[in-house]
Amino acid sequence: MRQYFQNKFALSEQGAREMIFGILSVVAQNLALMFPVTLLYLFTGDYLDGVNLTSRTGFYIGGIAVCLVLILLTGIWQYNTAYKATYKESAARRISLAEKLRKLPLSFFAKRDLADLTNTIMTDAEVLEHSGSHQIPQYYGSIVSTLVICIGLFFFQWRMALAAVWPIPVALIIVLTSKRVQQYFYRKQTDAKLDLNEGIQEFIETSRDLKSNNAEDGYLKDLEQKIDLVEQRAIGSELGTAVFVVSAQMLLKFGIGTVALVGGTMLTGGDLTLMQFFCFLLVASRLYEPMSSTLINLAAINALQVNVDRMNEINRTKEQEGSSSFAPDGYDIVFEHAGFSYEDGKTVLSDVSFTAKQGEVTALVGPSGGGKTTVSRLAARFWDADRGKVTVGGVDVSTVDPETLLGAFSIVFQDVTLFNNTVMENIRVGKKDASDEEVLEAARLANCDEFIRELPNGYDTVIGENGSELSGGERQRISIARAFLKDAPIILLDEATASLDVENETRVQSALSRLIKDKTVMVIAHRMRTVAGANKIVVLSDGGVAEQGSPKELMEQEGVFARMVKLQTEGQSWTIV
């Protein structure tokens, strides 16, 4: 049973165990709520039989006290298991999803939208949290407790029990058979919400461009259509559920009628006592009202499967695994007939072979879409090669745990990611246990110290979301300071100076020249002057290596590289006529 709940509701082992206890607590609570009915039955029987109720006062007061204590104790148990435990499981689920995402290859994120993943961690987890505390235990618990009560009724008077019970399984079947319809409508609603979330996020991120192009009105009209669609999908989802649930709830009402009809007939014929008839009317009133809520819970659980499937899709994605031991013989990076394709069949790299030697700068150049960035990602095992092999110091990177492997890499991206924190802590990202002195030294080496000290609070200045308080060149130098602090033997530079002005580019390149000393360096660049001092140039085109050699050798060959240099040289002399 534990395994069943784990798989059905994307729970941890502990969460599934707590779910079972939650169901048992609901059963206990429901049965405890039947004790007052029993007490009322006994009281009515004594009254009709002419028993001196004064002599029975102590019994009934004691019975009321026992009922209150049982209801209180089972209520506390239900709260602790069905609520507190569920919220703990929800927190653990979000953490486990985040941990899972951390271990997945970047190719997974290339196929999934950021808003979609955020929705899974936040919204889907929240829906499951609500269901786990308010619906799942109540549904299963009500089914079990109702089954126990119904079995007791059959032992008491089977014909009256049949008259009372028959609507329950029929109502459940009606809602159960609507599962696919409910999931269809709920999936449509979820897709519409995701589309709206993406539209809102895109509007916030691109508002500057929309304003500058007078395109706000058109975009907002499209956004309004997405909002209307969410409303339509929500109404459709509610209607699709209500048709079945309300029909099943109406059917339950017939149960009281059949109890009254069958009971009246049997009472007239002398086959049923007045007290037995009264007992079944009492029990029927306690059966149908909770079952009405149970049908709503069942409908919610049917729709919940959409959220669970989205979380399970992440949990079942294969992680990148490998040894936590990494002892390379040096830090040469070797590509041996490496190939890589996305799942849609688009080949990015077909047959790439070259060596980036330690102590040298290897530049990757070529037209856009030639595979330069993909090559660097394969080296750091952001993705795994489909064919061939990539090694670092003779060790196949696919056999090494990604986090262990990345300990040997410092990466400076063109698009720098900074956090809404102090300058000090943003640099310390490169080495989380670094002292303040180490951070300061890294900042000096990266030519950051001068502009940092001019900030309002120096190194303690909070630089805003993604470093919004800094210029592009300053943000880039913060990124280089991180690399200095990490001091890894392999450096990957991905268009690190492409968007900088001449002054900032000079400062950044000055910092980079100190950073790359005696290390294995791979540089991705479009500006040919950036790679002029490289030891080796690898020209990538159409997913393969078109040329490789020193800048001088490639210029003499008058191939792809020489043509790129010529075109950029001609472009520099371009003027506005």
Q: What is the dihedral of CA 544, 546, 548, 552, to 10 degrees?
A: -150
- First CA to last CA across the chain, in angstroms? 79
| Residue carrying structure tokens 């028959």 | 166
| Burial class for 506, CB neighbours closer than 10 Å (0-12, 13-18, 19+) | middle
| Alpha-carbon separation of residue 405 from 18, 115, 380, 398, 522 (angstroms) | 38, 29, 7, 10, 16
- Contact yes or no for 228/192 (Cβ under 8 A): no
Phi-psi category of residue 369: left, alpha or beta, with phi > 0 → left and psi -120 to 50 → alpha? left
| Residue carrying structure tokens 């729970």 | 11
Run of H or E residues at 343: none
Long-range contacts, stretch 14-19, CB < 8 angstroms, 24+ apart = 14/89, 14/92, 15/85, 15/89, 15/92, 15/93, 15/132, 18/81, 18/85, 18/86, 18/88, 18/89, 19/85, 19/86, 19/132, 19/136, 19/137
Structure tokens at 421: 């924190």
| Alpha-carbon separation of residue 167 from 161, 164, 202, 500 (angstroms) | 11, 7, 51, 74
Cα 7 to its chain centre, rounded Å, is 17
Structure tokens at 515: 């950073």
d(CA 297, CA 292): 9
Q: What pLDDT, on the 0 to 100 scale, is given for residue 395?
A: 93
- Contact yes or no for 412/530 (Cβ under 8 A): no
d(CA 234, CA 168): 28
d(CA 344, CA 245): 41
Q: What pLDDT, on the 0 to 100 scale, is given for residue 344?
A: 61
| Alpha-carbon separation of residue 237 from 196, 295, 299 (angstroms) | 17, 16, 11
Q: What is the dihedral of CA 523, 528, 530, 531, to 10 degrees?
A: 50
Residue type at 256? I
Q: What pLDDT, on the 0 to 100 scale, is given for residue 531?
A: 76
Cα 228 to its chain centre, rounded Å, is 26
Q: What pLDDT, on the 0 to 100 scale, is given for residue 505?
A: 64
Q: Which is it for the CA torsion 99, 104, 109, 111, positive or negative?
A: negative
Q: What pLDDT, on the 0 to 100 scale, is given for residue 68?
A: 92
Structure tokens at 218: 């058109």
- The pTM of this model reads 0.67
Structure tokens at 390: 């990539």
Kindly list the averaged pLDDT for each block of 10 residues, start to end, along the chain of length 577.
77 82 85 81 77 81 90 87 80 83 76 76 81 82 84 84 87 86 85 85 81 84 90 87 85 84 85 79 75 81 82 82 88 92 75 90 84 87 88 92 89 82 91 90 85 90 82 83 88 70 66 76 77 84 86 84 76 56
Mark 18-50 as b/e (b = at least 16 C-beta within 10 Å). Answer: bbbbbbbbbbbbbbbbbbbbebebbbeebeeee
Interstrand relation of 520-524 and 333-341 (parallel, antiparallel or unpaired): unpaired
d(CA 78, CA 73): 9
d(CA 434, CA 35): 65
How many other β-carbons are positioned within 10 Å of the β-carbon of residue 405?
Answer: 23
For the chain, domains (ranges, CATH) are 2-315 (1.20.1560.10)
| Burial class for 307, CB neighbours closer than 10 Å (0-12, 13-18, 19+) | buried
**DSSP secondary structure string, 476-526?**
HHHHHHHHHHH--SEEEEESTTTT--HHHHHHHHHHHHHHTTTSEEEEE-S
DSSP 8-state symbol, 462: B
- Reduced 3-state DSSP string for 43-57: HHHHHHCCCCHHHHH
- The C-alpha angle 65, 66, 67, rounded to 5 degrees, equals 90
d(CA 192, CA 85): 32
d(CA 25, CA 5): 16
d(CA 360, CA 523): 11
Q: Is 346 helix (H, G, I), strand (E, B) or coil?
A: coil
> What angle do the packed helices 158-165 and 216-268 form, to 10 degrees?
160
**DSSP secondary structure string, 424-437?**
HHHHHTTSTT--HH
d(CA 145, CA 166): 16
